[in-house]
Structure 1
Amino acid sequence: MTPGSGAGVIVHVIGRDEWAAVEAELRPASLGVEGFVHCADPDQVAGVIERYYADRDDLLLLHIDPSRVTAPIIREDTTGRGEVFPHVHGPIPRTAIIAVTPA
């Protein structure tokens, strides 16, 4: 499957160093603080990077196959702007990450 293609692929934005530290599961700080892993649909990624990561040049995109994620994926508007994002309410197994590309 090509990154971003196919129904249902979701994307997580991560720094190179953070990705290098991931072993069996992706457990970013947001999982402990907010209770979920922030993800986006492929067409939302550019806006996410522009809004939250504009000052970073070390970003990677993790392309995730939701069928390989065991935690609930809930589409939510947590910003109040009417835009719904897929949030993974648990760790993401490394085996669910089907591709890693530069942002």
Structure 2
Amino acid sequence: MAMIYHLASGPEWEAATAARAYRMSTRGKSLDDGATFIHAARPEQVGLVANFVYADVTEPLCLLTIDTERLVSAVCDEDLDGSGMAFPHIYGPLNPDAVVAVTPYERGADGRWPDVVPQAVS
């Protein structure tokens, strides 16, 4: 099983499970608004993304753990900004049954969003 991660707000994730499809690309952007993919990250990239994209967010987020083998949409690793770091991108809606864990994601004592340590998912 290959695991990737996506940060979501609680209400957006709840709406997605009811609709049976998650369509948010990243904060404030969705596939319905013209985004072409859903941003995801590897464990070592989650803190980097969170501290860049969600720096001013005060409420906890949901960390979605996604099993890439369960995805119905294609996933590709891409370095679109030329930074030398490839990120996983999901090209199409995220089917909720590909999400094997949803955990609260909160700031650390230092005020920064933490790195993620991969957990075994059964």
Shorter-chain TM-score tier: 0.7 to 0.9
From 59, 72, 79, the equivalent of 1:77 is 79
In structure 2, stretches of 5+ residues that fail to align are 106-122
Residue 60 of structure 1, CA deviation: 0.9
State the TM-score, normalizing by the size of structure 1: 0.86
Match status 1:102 vs 2:104? yes
Query: Aligned residues: percent identity?
Result: 39
Structure 1 portions without partners, runs of 5+: 1-6
The yes-or-no answer on 1:41 pairing with 2:42 is yes
1:11 to 5, 8, 23: 5
Greater RCO, 1 or 2 (C-alpha within 8 Å, sep 6+):
1
Post-superposition Cα deviations, 1:49-78, rounded to whole Å, max 9, x if no partner, equal: 011101112311100000000111011112
Count of matched residue pairs: 97
Which structure is larger by alpha-carbon Rg, 1 or 2?
2
Q: Does 1:66 align with 2:60?
A: no
Counterparts of 1:79 and 1:69, CA distance in 2:
25
- What is the alpha-carbon root mean square deviation over aligned residues? 1.3
Which of 6, 17, 21 is 2:15 aligned to? 21
